[in-house]
């Protein structure tokens, strides 16, 4: 596709001035209107070094209300970012509803720089493309407008510009050896960039390749492309009477194959108290060793706890971490989202808490809330929770694919056992705070929850991230089983 | 004070088991009660290497609800943190109301490590102590309980423990050359640590030095100290019927000397349009050069814009950044705080947005909201805004003292000019969105705001961070004046 570009395109200053003016006014009007409709907008500007990314963005933001956008300048990742999966730093930067995020370079440059060094670069590119496509589709499904530019210049033009910058005292220090290395490999990067652009040129997130030799032409093309996309989206919203993105939701709902996951609350084995205590300490010591080794090998691990109210999640987690080094793990309790979280894609708040390399994050409830409480209580629309099966599977696969460990526990108790525990809590002044009216309300909806649980387990048990059912009518058994599962899984990871 | 410690203190296992049990129950009860009163708790655990910081924290958190605390393990700063003032990374980690933040090492270790290397280390320590004292006092004034421990062991004991860890396969890789270096300099660090501990041992944030040779003794002393502090605080709250911290506010209200800052809305000079345009571009080019040089020298710069509604802040900022490189600056618009922000100290949300080294952050409204809108509209209590004069001065001084640049603009317009601009906006369909009922309501309170403005300008114009009044009845003049101020100040910074 790049060879078809006519890199000699030019626009003279007078024509430019005349044509850009109305576009500058219109972009202000359109972005304000979309802000009122709470539509998030993502603008990605990619391109060769010295192709004018900064210039384009500089021009663009003059006419957008500075209160409405954030600019993310993407360079090498910092320590914190390097310790996490590639997309983490971008997912945490997606715009809230009604805001604009402009990316000066993006996940594309980073994928190119970080994943195309190995021997097996072709499959790395394939994996990157798949991961990026699901990332962008998820954002589009959530209502975001995604506009992507690649600024294209020839190798000769690039050399001319690098030389020019090196000749200027104010800018010469910014040109590094890396820039020249990249320049010398222009021809080998070209096909890889084409592969990326073609593989990620989707209807929900199309690319515009801009012939960037002349800055007037470049600016005009960028402006008019953005305006066309924004206007189209706005028209659709205003004619349908609701935000456009939600409609796209349908595309995202593809039913993954069902697996049968057998729920069971009664354990096969029973432990006496002394047996339990002996096993417990031994397992805890092994878990501690595994934590050290994961830390040393810089492998991150996520452990998800889901289960019925009073299934014993809290006590179970306490035993799991008993001998772990507290500086290397985090227990994240997931409660109702706050307003800022509601203003973002629902996975945003979880990405923020993902573990860095070598660390363990234990989620006490998790993103599965979308498929359980949010579904049953109607906190999200049916198309939203239906879409979530696929979104969650993709997120987990991307994370596991990048080398992270993931264990998912479902703590199953019988309805009778739950009742007994509720009553116990109510009668114990030290435990009373643990039980609320909400627990009783949830219990009244047992059947609806059961349906949601069944569907969740069967649709999100994948080869990369299977569920482990923990039979929790007996707390001793349940605790030993989770510990043993972590030990077995940890050893596999460390192999 | 350290020489008085009896490092041979010991407690046998049986006594320990008997004494620790009731404390473990009580800590759970107390932390839940304080959570209900929305009191934030900060626990700092400092000490020599291998003094058992991790062990103490491990024991402690077993009996605190994991949903209630965050553990912050403080090591070397990452790139992001290194690029900001020392306290930045800690202020962004303070607990929300009702939550507990446990720091495994803290601002003390970091001050020691980072600021005690230079020749002038004594004055560095003095500066650190002052900065830390105001930081902790501000948190205590806001209602936080601050509990600080220093785990003390002898040089011989430290050597024994380092040797032991090096002999263990699982832990040997964790002992670095740095640990041994630190060990060899034990005797030279001791007096500096004493200086720190004595200089920051305040009633609102007292130190407890723990003789940490025996782990039973250490745990018991830490537990009982925490319980004593929490119980005392809780008793005070329950007897007074309101959260304890607010009462302390009085201590913080010390009136700084008044400076007279003359407000004036009419400029001395008038510019014709062509004159303006000529100056404008020249100034913008100079500002761009200054931005490059600040970036190169890694100096961060904050520019604060405050002023009457319709004083022209937005347009002024637009002209200021016109030729700046957008990848190096951020415009932060401050609106009403959200719930998460309200749950923290009011300066918390501003710290989060402070520029990193070499970057420029422009605040379109700022922390001065506390002294303006929050005061006039009664969004905070009188003791809160009275305390804020000092808190803000301290924050600005700490930031400037650490090498950052700070410019504060007050955009002054006359009441008549404001009226004219309001009417203009209302009559222009492209500008109509800029004017709201709230603007008219604020205007009705002009006199109250004027009093607040006068007091703010006079009490927060310090030598380190003076206000610049921008006479804004004439927009051309105002824009050129801010640009020229940034140029002059920038040159000073770069000297």
pLDDT 10s digits, A237-290: 888 765 544 444 444 455 555 667 888 888 888 889 999 999 999 999 999 999
Locate all alpha helices (DSSP H) within A335-474, ordered by sequence: 339-342, 348-351, 373-376, 382-401, 415-427, 437-444, 446-459
Helical packing angle, A155-166 and A186-199, nearest 10° = 120
- Distance, in Å, from the CA atom of A213 to the CA atom of A64, rounded to the nearest integer, reads 25
Interface contact B171-A292, CB threshold 8 A:
yes
Tens digit of each residue's pLDDT (9 = 90 or more) over A87-100: 888 888 899 888 99
Separation in Å, CA of B72 to nearest CA in chain A: 8
Query: A66, B314: Cβ pair inside 8 Å?
Result: yes
Q: Which of A25, A28, A326 sits opposite B71 (nearest CB)?
A: A326
The complex scores an ipTM of 0.71
Residue B116's pLDDT is what? 61
Do the Cβ atoms of B130 and B115 come closer than 8 Å? no
Average pLDDT, stretch A114-135? Answer: 80
| CB neighbour list of residue B312: distance below 8 Å, 6 or more residues apart | B411, B413, B472, B475, B478, B479
The gap from C-alpha A11 to its chain's centroid, in whole angstroms, comes to 40
Band of pLDDT at residue A388, cut at 50, 70 and 90? very high
- pLDDT value at position B243? 52
CB pair distance less than 8 Å for A327 and B104:
yes
**Domains of chain A from N-terminus onward:** 2-250 (3.40.50.300), 273-494 (3.40.50.300)
Summarised one tens digit per residue, pLDDT across range A6-36 is: 888 999 999 999 999 999 989 989 998 999 8
Supply the pTM of this predicted model.
0.79
How long, in residues, is chain B?
495
Q: Do A364 and B67 touch (CB under 8 A)?
A: yes
pLDDT on residue A252: 47
Helix (H) or strand (E) holding A149: strand A145-152
Which two structure tokens, joined as six digits, stand for A265?
A: 């609350």
pLDDT of residue B258: 64
Q: Considering only CB atoms, which residues of chain B are within 8 Å of chain A? A: 25, 28-29, 32, 54, 57-58, 61-62, 65-67, 70-71, 73, 78-80, 104, 170-171, 173, 289, 292, 296, 314, 317-318, 321-323, 325-328, 330-331, 333, 338-340, 364, 430, 433
What is residue B256's DSSP assignment?
Answer: P
Structure tokens belonging to residue B207: 């130190």
The conformation of residue B77, written as its DSSP 8-state character, comes to -
Whole-angstrom distance, CA of residue B205 vs CA of residue B200: 8
User: Which range, A55-59, A265-269, A306-310, B164-168, has the best average confidence (pLDDT)?
Assistant: A306-310
Confidence of residue A436 (pLDDT cuts 50, 70, 90): confident
Chain B hits for A28, CB-CB cut-off 8 Å, are: 430
Mutating which of A73, A168, A327 best tests the B interface, going by the most B Cβ atoms within 10 A?
A327
The Cα A180–Cα A49 span in angstroms is 9
What pairs with residue A472 in β-bridges?
A: none
Give the pLDDT score at B242: 56
Q: What is the pLDDT along chain B (495 residues), one digit of tens a residue?
A: 788 888 889 999 999 999 999 999 899 899 989 998 999 999 999 999 999 999 999 889 888 877 788 889 888 777 777 777 778 888 888 998 889 999 999 999 888 877 666 667 778 888 889 989 999 999 999 899 999 999 999 999 999 999 998 888 777 877 888 889 989 999 988 988 999 999 999 999 999 999 999 999 999 999 999 999 999 999 998 887 655 444 444 444 555 556 677 888 888 888 899 999 999 999 999 999 999 999 989 999 999 999 999 999 999 999 999 899 888 899 999 988 988 888 889 999 999 899 988 999 999 999 999 999 999 999 999 999 999 999 999 999 989 988 899 999 999 999 999 999 999 998 888 788 888 888 999 999 999 999 999 999 999 999 889 999 999 999 999 999 999 999 999 999 998
Q: What angle do CA A62, A90, A396 make, to 5 degrees?
A: 155
So what's the pLDDT on residue A245? 45
Which two tokens mark A338?
A: 């706050």
Q: Which helix (H) or strand (E) holds B489?
A: helix B475-494
Tokens linked to A28? 């202000």
Residues 6+ apart with CB under 8 A from A33: A234
**Conformation bin of residue A143: beta by default, left when phi > 0, alpha when psi is -120 to 50:** left
Lowest mean pLDDT among A423-432, A464-473, B37-46: A423-432
Q: What would the pLDDT profile of A390-421 be if each residue is shown by its tens digit?
A: 999 999 998 998 889 999 999 999 999 999 99
Cβ contact, residue pair B66, A173, below 8 Å: no
CA–CA separation, A430 vs A287, rounded Å? 30
State the average pLDDT for chain A.
89
């Amino acid at each position: 596709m790049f060879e078809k570009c006519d890199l000699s395109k030019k626009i003279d200053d007078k024509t430019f001035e005349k044509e850009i003016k109305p576009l500058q006014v219109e972009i202000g009007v359109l972005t304000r209107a979309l802000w009122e409709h709470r539509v998030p907008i993502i603008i990605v500007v990619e391109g060769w070094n010295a192709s004018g990314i900064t210039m384009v963005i500089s021009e663009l933001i003059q006419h957008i209300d500075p209160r409405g956008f954030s600019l993310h300048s993407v360079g090498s990742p910092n320590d914190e970012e390097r310790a996490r999966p590639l997309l983490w730093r971008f997912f945490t930067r997606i715009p809230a509803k009604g805001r604009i995020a402009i990316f000066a370079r993006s996940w594309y440059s980073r994928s190119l720089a970080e994943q195309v060094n190995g021997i097996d670069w072709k499959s790395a590119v394939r994996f990157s493309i798949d991961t990026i496509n699901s990332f962008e589709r998820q954002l589009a499904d959530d209502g975001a407008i995604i506009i992507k530019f690649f600024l294209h210049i020839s190798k000769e033009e690039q050399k001319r510009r690098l030389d020019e910058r090196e000749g200027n005292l104010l800018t010469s220090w910014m040109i590094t050896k890396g820039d020249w290395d990249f320049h010398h490999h222009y021809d080998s990067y070209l096909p890889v960039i084409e592969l990326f652009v073609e593989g990620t040129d989707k209807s929900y997130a199309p690319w515009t390749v801009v012939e960037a030799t002349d800055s007037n032409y470049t600016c005009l093309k960028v402006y008019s492309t953005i305006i066309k996309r924004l206007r189209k989206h706005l028209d659709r919203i205003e004619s349908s009477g609701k935000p456009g993105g939600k409609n796209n939701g349908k595309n995202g709902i593809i039913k993954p194959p069902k697996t049968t996951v057998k729920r069971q609350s009664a354990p096969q084995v029973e432990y006496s108290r002394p047996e339990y205590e002996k096993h417990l300490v031994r397992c805890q010591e092994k878990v501690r060793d595994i934590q050290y080794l994961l830390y040393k090998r810089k492998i991150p691990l996520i452990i998800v706890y889901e289960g019925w109210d009073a299934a014993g999640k809290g006590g179970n987690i306490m035993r799991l971490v008993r001998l772990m080094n507290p500086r290397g793990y985090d227990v994240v309790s997931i409660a109702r989202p706050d307003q800022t979280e509601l203003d973002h894609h629902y996975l945003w708040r979880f990405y923020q808490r993902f573990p860095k390399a070598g660390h363990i994050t234990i989620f006490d409830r998790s993103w599965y809330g979308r498929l359980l409480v949010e579904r049953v209580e109607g906190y999200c629309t049916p198309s939203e929770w239906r879409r979530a099966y696929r979104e969650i599977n993709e997120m987990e696969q991307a994370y596991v694919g990048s080398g992270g460990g993931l264990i998912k526990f479902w703590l199953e108790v019988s309805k009778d056992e739950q009742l007994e525990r509720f009553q116990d809590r109510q009668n114990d002044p030290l435990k009373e705070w643990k039980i609320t009216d909400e627990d009783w309300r949830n219990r009244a909806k047992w059947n609806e929850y059961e349906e949601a649980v069944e569907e969740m387990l069967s649709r999100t048990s994948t080869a990369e991230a299977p569920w482990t059912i923990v039979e929790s009518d007996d707390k001793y058994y349940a605790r030993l089983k989770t510990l043993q599962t972590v030990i077995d899984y940890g050893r596999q990871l460390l192999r």
